Amino acid sequence: MSARSSSLIVAAFALAFTFAAGAASVKHSTRHHETRHHKEAGPTLIVRGDQVSTEGLVDAVAQAFADTGEGHLEVQPFNTIDGIDQALSGQVDLAASARPAYPARTQESGLVFTPVAWDALVLITNSANPVNNLTLKQIHEIYYGKIKNWSEVGGPDEKIDLEGVFPKLDGLQFSFRRLIFGNGDYPAAVPRLLINVDSLQSDVALDPRALALSTLVHARRQKDIKIIPIEGVMPSLATLENATYPLPLTIYLAYKADSPKIATIQKFLTFLGGSRADDILRSRDLLPFAQATVLNAKTEMDRINNIGAKMVAEGLSPEYAPGNEFARLAHLYPDLQRMNRLQQVASQQVANVNAQRVALSEAAGVDPSPRAAAPAAPASPSTYTVVSGDTLSKIARDHSVSVEDLRTWNHLHSDMLKVGQELKMSAQ
C-alpha cells in the first residue's frame, strides 16, 4: 500500500457533507481524543474545538494562564462542530473555533463568539512543487473545479490533487469559503478529504501534486511542504499586521453567557488581552486581536467585497464574485449582517481593555510595549466628493467605514455613483 493510500481519506465528496458523527469518530486518530491538562491551579476550564484553534492558540497560553493561579485548562483538540455543540450543552466551558457562529445553525446563537487572535489561511503544496504564486481568481477557479491542472497556474503538466478536511463546517474550510465564495457552506470541488489538518499536511508532504488549505501557525509544524504566496504576498505576522495578506483568519473562543464558570472564563479572556499572552501569541506567529488595528478597521463583508473586486479585475465574471453570494445570504439570513456588527463591537471592546492596560502601566511608571497602544486614527472628513474611478467599496475601504453604512448615511438604493456627488462619511 502506498503512503497516499494509507492516509485516512473520506473517498466520496458527498459523504463528506453529512453529519455522520459516528463514522467520523471511528476514523479519528487516538491522538486527537486525548485531553491535555495544564498545571492544576484554580478552577478548571475545559476547552474543546478544532486542531488549529486548540493547538495553535489555547495550548500556547495554557501553561502561562495556569501560572497566574486564576485557573487551568484542559484542552481537547477534536473539531469545530463538536466543540460548539458541547459548549452549548454545557459539557465543556469554551469552544475554540476558526470561524464565527453560522446563522443557518440557529443553535449557535446560544454562544458568545469572542475574537481573540488572527492567524492566516494559507495554501500549501509539496516543497518540490515549483509554483510560487497564486492569484485570488486562480484560487476561486481551482476550488470551483474549473482549474484542474498545475500547468494552468504556471506549474508542470500534472493534475492538481486538491485535498481538504472532514467534517462539514470545519472552521478552516468555512472561513476560507466565506472569503473566496461569500458562503462558508459552499460545496467546493474538493475530491479528497482527510480527517484532520495533521493528516492532510502529512499527505501533502508526500505528494508533489497536492494542494491544500492550512494556517500559517499550523503549516510551520510540517516538513517537506511550502506555503504558496497569494497575489505575491507571503503570509507572516508583518503582512497580517499591515493587512496586505488577503486571507486573514480570526480565531474565536465561544462560551455560554450564563456559564457557571463565567468568572473564570472572563479572567482567561482578560489574560489573553495582557502583555504576557501577547508575547506568547506573537512568538507563534499569531497576532493578538486587540493589536490588529488595521484588520479590525474592516468588517468581514468589506474583506469579501475587496476580494471579489480583485477577482473581477483579474477576469472573473462579476456574477461569481463572492460579494454577490454574501449579499444573497445576508438577505436569507439577516444575522450575517448583525454578526459583522457584533464583531466590530467585540473588536472595540478588546481594544478598550488593551488601552486600559496601557494606561495603568503608564500610571505605575511602567513603559508599555510600543505595540500595545494603537496610534490615534486621523480624523475623518465629514463628507467626500466622488471622483472618476471611485466605487462605493473603494471609498468605504479608504475611509475605514462599511459599504452598508455609506448606503444608510446617504440613502443610497444601489452602488451607482456620479462624479461630483457628495457623500456623508458619518451618521452626523
Contact yes or no for 74/39 (Cβ under 8 A)? no
Question: 248 pairs with which residues across the strands?
Answer: 120
Contact yes or no for 393/355 (Cβ under 8 A)? no
| Bigger pLDDT: 365 vs 108 | 108
- The terminus-to-terminus CA distance of the chain in angstroms comes to 68
d(CA 128, CA 123): 15
| DSSP per-residue string spanning 156-167 | -SSB-EEEEESS
Lowest mean pLDDT among 67-76, 99-108, 336-345: 336-345
Q: Is the pLDDT of residue 205 over 90?
A: yes
**2: how many CB neighbours lie within 10 A of its CB?**
8
Lowest mean pLDDT among 39-53, 346-360, 385-399: 346-360
3-state secondary structure of 342: helix
Nearest to 217 by CA among 271, 276, 285: 285
Residue 212 is predicted with a pLDDT of 97
| Bigger pLDDT: 332 vs 405 | 405
The dihedral built from the CA positions of residue 188, 192, 195 and 199, taken in this order, carries a sign that is negative
Domains of the chain (ranges; CATH) run: 20-116+250-290 (3.40.190.10), 119-241 (3.40.190.10), 378-428 (3.10.350.10)
Residue 375 is predicted with a pLDDT of 41
Place of cell 463514522: 23
**155-164: b or e for each residue (b if 16 or more CB lie within 10 Å)?**
beeeebbbbb
Residue 155 is predicted with a pLDDT of 96
d(CA 235, CA 119): 9
Contact yes or no for 265/254 (Cβ under 8 A)? no
Give, as one character, the DSSP assignment of residue 155: S
